[in-house]
Structure 1
Amino acid sequence: MGDYSSYNFYWYVPSFELVAPQAAAPAAGSPFRYSYVVSGHDDDGDPVITATIMITARTVMTEARRNQIINYDSEVPLDPDKGLPVKFEQVRAQLVIPYREAATGAAASGTVTAAPATTGRDIYTFVFTVSGNLARAAYGSLSRPGYQQVPPRLLMNFSFNALEYGDHDYLAQKFATDTLYSSVRLLSDPLLAVPGNSDDPGTVDAWDGEGGAAPDGSMVYSPVSVTQSQSLDVVIPCADFGNLYIDATDPAHENAIGCQDTMALGKIPDKLYTPLEALATDDYQVFTALGRPSVYLVLPRRYRVGRAAPGHPGVPDWSPLIMWIQMFDATQDIALPCRLQANLQPDIGHAELTAVKTALADLTAHPTLLLPTSFASGVTGFGVTGWNNPTSSPINATRVGDTIQIGTAMSYADAVVFNELLGIAAPEGHLVGNATFTLSDNSALGPVELYLDVTRLAGPWPDGPVLATSSGAAVTLENHAESEVTVTRLFGNLPDGSSQLVADGLDITLPSGGSADIAVNAPPGAQLAARYTLADATPAVVAQAHVYVEDLHTSIIVNNDAHMDKAGIASVVIHARLDGDDQPHTFTITPETQVFHCDLVQPLGRTSKADSSLLHLQATVHRAGQPDTETGDYLADLHKGVLYQLSDVLATP
C-alpha cells in the first residue's frame, strides 16, 4: 500500500457507542424503538406478543484510543486527527436479555440475533425480533434501570482486513497449516498499518522477529482478517422516553405505552388511572394515566359559580354566570314560574395547572393535562347527589365543555328561600352537590363538590380574574375579581409546551379593579399565570330577568357534545320549531360552538290545537362545506327541561 511510505498515516480500530434518543423528541426518526403487536393468544387465553426492538450504535474514537495514539512510540509523533477508522467487513449484533428462572429464581438470559445491520457512514442500526415472555422481559429490563441485576447488553462482533508484518514463507506456512494469530501489534496497538522504510511498500529492511526468522530475511505485510467484539449496556428509561415504547397492534393507531407492568403488555388495563398522592393539594388531585405516557388527569375538588369571560354574550364582563328568570303570564297560572340557571366552573385555573406541569417536570418534559370533562379522559358517566336542597324542586346538572350547567324551576315561595341561600355561605352544606365521574373501567372519580352559592366565585375558566402580562423587565398584574387578592407566585407556560416558576415569595395585594407593575424578567413568549389568594367578599348579586308574556317565549339550550372535528363535520344547521308552527327557527353550530341559546316565539293570540310544550329539532350535517345528511325529527317535551345534547339530535333516524 502506498500509504506505508508516510510516517504519519495510520488506521485505528474505532469503538462503538449507543446513539441515545433525545428527551421529549418525537418517536419518528428516533434511534431507539420498542414496539409490539399481539400476535395471538396462548391456551390460557392470555395474549402472546411479538416485539421489534431497534437499537442504533455508531463508531467513535474514544478518549482512551486518542491518548493511546498520542503516546504511541514512533519515530514521528502521530496526529490523532489524521488517522482513519478501519472499514468493518462484517458487523453482527446480538441482544442479551436477562431474566430469572420462574422455578428456581436463578439468573438466566436469552440471546436474540439481529437482522443484518443497516449502515450509514459510521451509524449501524440493529433490529431484533423477540416473542412471548422474553419480549416482556426485554421491555422490563430495557425500560427500567435495575429491573434485573444486570442490564440488557448489545453484543457486537465485527471483523476487518489488516496486514500482518512477518516472514513471507513463515506466514504462508501458517496460513496453510494453522490459524494465523494476529500480530500483538495489531491487537494491542491502534496502528494497523505501520510505515516502512523501503522503496518497496511490501518489504522492509529489518524486522523485530515477530512470527519467526526467515532464511532469506525477506519480510512482508501479509493480509489477515481480524475479529473483535464489544459489549454495550442498553437501558432507555420509560420514565423519560415513554413515547418510544409502543403498542403497534393496530398499525393505523399506534399507542405509546410508557411505563407499564411488563406482564400486562397486550392486555387491556384494569384501571385507567392511578393517583399521584404527592401532587395532591386542597384544590385538586392528580392522576397518572396507565398505558398513556405523559398523560395526567387533574380532578378539581370544587366547582363554583363562574365569572363571565370578557366578551361573553348577554352579560357584563367578569359578572357571575347565574340568573333568575321569572315568567309572568296573565292568561294562565304557571305552576313553576321561577327558573334558575347557573354555570359552574373548576375552582382552579392556569396557575394551578402550570404548577402541576412544573411539578411533573422530573417525570416528563411535556405532560398532557386532562380534566374529567375532557374528551379523552375516559369518563363515560356523570351524576350528582346531595344538594341538601330545602325546597322540593329537583336540581339538574349537565356537563357543558369543561363546565357544569345547573338548572332548576320552582314556585315563587320556594324561590324566595332558595335565593336567600345563594347569598350566604353553606356551613350546613345547603346547595352543595356531590358529583361523581364514572370511567370506562367502571371506577369512579370523586366526589367533587358543586357549590351553587355566590359567596365565592370561580373563573373565568381557565384564565381566572387575575391577569399577568409581561412587558420587558416588568410584569403588570390586574385584578378583575369582586374582592381583594394577594398574588404569591408567577408561573410561565413556554412556547415549547414546558412550564416553569417565574417568581416566588411574592406578597402583592391588589384591590378589586386594581393593578400593579412588578420588576420580573419573564421568559420570552411565556404565557404568565398568577397564583393568588382571594379575600372574603360581599356575596355577588344574582341577576334577574322578568319575562312578561305577550307572545309565548320558549328559551332552549343546545350543548355541542358531538366532537364535530373528530367526525369530520364542518357545521350543523338546526331547524327548531314548536309544535304547530310552520316556520322553524334556523341556526348553525360549528365545532367552535360550545353552547347555543335560542329563543322561540309564538304569538299569544294564535289559534292552534298543537301542544306548545312539544319541541321539534331537525339537523342538516355539512361536511367539506356541502350538505351531507339530514336527521329525523327529534321530539322533546319542554316540561322535562330546556337543555338538549347535539349528539341526541344527530342520532335521530
Structure 2
Amino acid sequence: MASIAEVRRGPAGEPLCSLTFLLSRTPAPHEHIAELVLSATLAVELRAGLEDLAWVEFALELADPVRSRAEGPFGTAALAATVGADEARDLLAALARGEGGPDLLITAQRTDGASGRWRRPLADLLSPLLAESDGCVRLVTAEGGSVADVFRPRAVRTRGGAKETMLLRAGAAVPLALAVRPQLAAVRPQFADIKPILAAEALLATPLRPLETGPVLTGQPLLSDRRNDDRWYLPELTLVQPAAGQDPDSSPFRFDLVSAGHQADGSPAVEATVVVTIAAGPSRATLDAWEQAGRPTLKPVHCTPQVGLAIPFRDAGGAARVEVVTANSTVVSGVLGAEGSKVTATFVLQNNWARLAYGALSSPGFQAEPAVVEIGLAHRGWRADRPINRLPLDRIAGGKLLALRRRDDVARPLAATQLLGMAKAQVMLSPAIAAAGLELADLRVVDHVKVSATAVHRLPALVACADHPQLYRQRAGDAWEAVGCRPALRLGETEYRTWQPEPVTAVSGVRVFRSLTQPGRFLVIPERFAVGRYPGEDPERAYEPTLLLTSTIDVENPTNIRCVLAASLESELDAADLDLLAGELRRRIARPVELVTAWQAGLAPDITWAVPGGSSVECVEVDTGFTFMLTTDIPGLLTLRALLQRGGLVGSARYTLPGGEQATATLRLDLSRVVGPASGPVTATRSGDELTLTNHLDRRVAVSRVTADGAVVATPSVLVAPGGQATVALPAGTPDPVSLDHSVEPGTETLDETRSYIEDLHLGVTFVATGSLAGLAGLEVAATFLGAAADTVTLTATRRQAEREFVLPLTTYAADPAVTFTVTAVAADGTRTAAAPVDWPVRTRGVLVPIATPQP
C-alpha cells in the first residue's frame, strides 16, 4: 500500500507536509489539548508509485471534500484543506493514536486503461513522519504562541559526570530532582551552594515559552529562523517563455480574442483572455549561501501571490501612463517557492484595454515601456527591532520559578512578548542571581516584532507576435485562427478611466462601479461600516462583538499604563443585500458578474478618525473591512468608554478612483450598532421547501426577506426570539443557497460587562510579613477584593510571604480598587489578636503589601 500513495519528499529528504492546528489559547499543564482546537490547516504533496500511470486523483473525505488530480506518469499532486473544530479534533486524536482520521481515497488509471481505487486513513500516512520531522505538525495558539513536543517521544538519558541542573524556586536554587517535591521548604540550599554551579554554566536552558518559528526578514538571500537553525528564502520569480512553435493549449503564454458584439459608438466589442505562467524557486544567491552555511534545512517563506498585468498607454493628453489590471484567477502548482513550483495567472480584458494589452505584449516598442507582470508575494515574518542592551534585573525581581539559559544559548533573541509575559505572570529573577556574576547586563539582546510584508517582482512580458504568431489567436466560429501581428489592433491612446459609476436600485447604502477593463466585474463600496461579530464557528466568542480590550500594566507607576482597544469593522450590507445586488447586475448585462471590494481592487483609502486627545489610532483596510486599534492611557480609556456607549467614535475612508470618481465610507465604533457576522446571526436549515431559522443572539432579530439566485423568494416578516427558532415556507423549486435579509433589535452592548470580549486582568497580590514573629505561631491574613474572598494566608517565620491571585476587568482596575484585609496574630498557645481592617488600593500603592504584626 505504501507504493500506492505516499508523502512526497523534498531535495533534502524532508517530507513535504504541513499540518497546523490552531488552539484557542496555550494549554495549561495536564489540560486536554483537543478541547482547545479551533481548526486545522493541511497542505501535503502526495505521490502515487504506480508504473505506466495515466492519471491519479487524491480525494480527502471531509465534510467539505477536497481533491486534486495529476495527469501523466509522475503521479504527484498537492492537497490543501482547512477543517473546522470537530474534524480537527478527530484528526489530532488520530495522529496521537497513530491510526484513523479522515480517509484518503486514491483513484488511478494506467496507460493501458486498467484502473483502481484504494482507501487509506490519513493518520496512517502521516504518523510515521512525526518522529523524523519537527515541522510536519505544529500547534499554534490564537495569540501567536506555539505548543512544542506534543508528538515527540520523550526519552530521558543520563550521562555520568554531568553537572546537576538547578532551578530557581521559592527564592532559592534547588536541584531539578528536588524541585518537584510537594514540600520544597524541607530543602534549604544556600546561595553559596549554587554559585559554583552558576559559574560552571550548568543552568537549564528553558525559555518562558517556546519562541514562534519563522523567518527573520533581513532582505538577504538566505534568512535565519527566529527559533532554530532552519533557513528560509523568498522565491525568485521568472516569466516562463513559450518554446518556438509551441501549441497554444499547452503554452505557458496565450492571448485569446473573441468578438462580443458592438460598443455604444458602433465599434466592435472584443474580449481577450491572457494567460501567463511564472516559475518560482530558490535563487542562485540563495543556494550559494545555503551551501556556505552547511546545507541546513531550507524552506520557502509561505507567500500569497497577487498578480497584476501593467499595461502602458498614453492618455488623451499624450502623457505616458500605466494601468495595472489584477488577475481574474491565480493558480499555484506545487508549494510556492519550492523548486519546480509555478503560478498561472489569467486576465480577462475588454475593448480598448484588450487592444492595448495586445499591442504591449506582442510588439516591441509599442510604448516607451513594455507590458509588465507584477507579482506581489505577501508574507509574514519577524523583523529585528530595537536592541535591549541591559536586561531589567532590578525590575524583574522576586521569587517565582525561572529556568535561566546556558551561556552558550544566551545569544538567541529574547522577544519583548516574553518579557511582557514574565511581567504579567510576575515571573522574576532572584536578586541573588543578579549578583552571581552572570554578566547579563553586558548581553545585547535583539528584540523582534512580527511584521507583514510584500515582495514585489516586476517581470517584463514581451512575447513577440513575429516569433510566436500562433499564440495570438481569435475565435472564428467553432475554431481558433492565428492572429499573428495585426497593426489594426495597435491602439495606443485611451481615456484613463478604469471604473464608471453604475446605478443600482435593489440595495441602498452602497456605491457601485462597473469595470472598464474586465467584463462582468463590479466594484462595491458600502457607505457604512460598524463593529462586527465573531463567526458562529468560534468556540469561545461566537456571535460576540469583535472588540478586544487589553493593556500593559505597570503597578509601580500607573501613569505608564497603556490601554489598547482593538476592533474589526464590517460592512452593514448583509448576504441578502449582496445577493440582490448581484442579481440586478447579472440581469442587466446578461452574463455572470463578480463583485469585488475596494481591497480586492487594490484601492487604498484615505482614513481619518476623530479620537480623544492623548490617543493614537492605527486603522487599515483588510479583506473583511477594516481593523482598528486605539492606544490610550487610563483617563483616555474612561473617555473612550463613555463615547462608545453614548454615540461612538466616527471616522471616514475616502476612495479616489482613476479618472477622479470618489466614494466615501463612514466608519463607526458604536456599542449600539454591531453587525455581522458575514453569514448572519440567524442561520437557516432547509428541509424540502421549509426553512428553520435559528437566532444565535441575545436580542430579537427580524427576518424580512429571503433571497435566492438574486431575487426575493419569500417575505416572511418573522420576529425570532433570542435563542429561538421560527419556520418559513419557500416556494416550490427555490434554488440553493438562500440568504436572509435581517435586522437586529436595537440595544447597547456594555463594554465593561460583556466579559466574552474583555481580557481580564489576573492580579497577583503578595503579602509580606515585615515585623517580628517571635513567640508567634504565625499571622493569618484574610483578604477580600471586589466582594470576593480569598483563601486565608498564613505567614510564619519560615514562610514570610505568600501570594493570592484575583481576577478583575481592566476598567475596574482603572478605578483603583482596594484589597481589604484583616491580620490576626496567633500565639504559640493559641491566643489570637486581630488588627483593624485595612483598605489597600492596588493601582496606586502596588501589589506588594507589607503586613505588620498586630499588638495586643
The alignment's TM-score, normalised by the length of structure 1, stands at 0.41
> Quick check: which has more Rg, 1 or 2?
1
| TM-score when normalising by structure 2 | 0.32
- Indicate the structure whose relative CO is greater, using CA pairs within 8 Å and at least 6 residues apart: 1
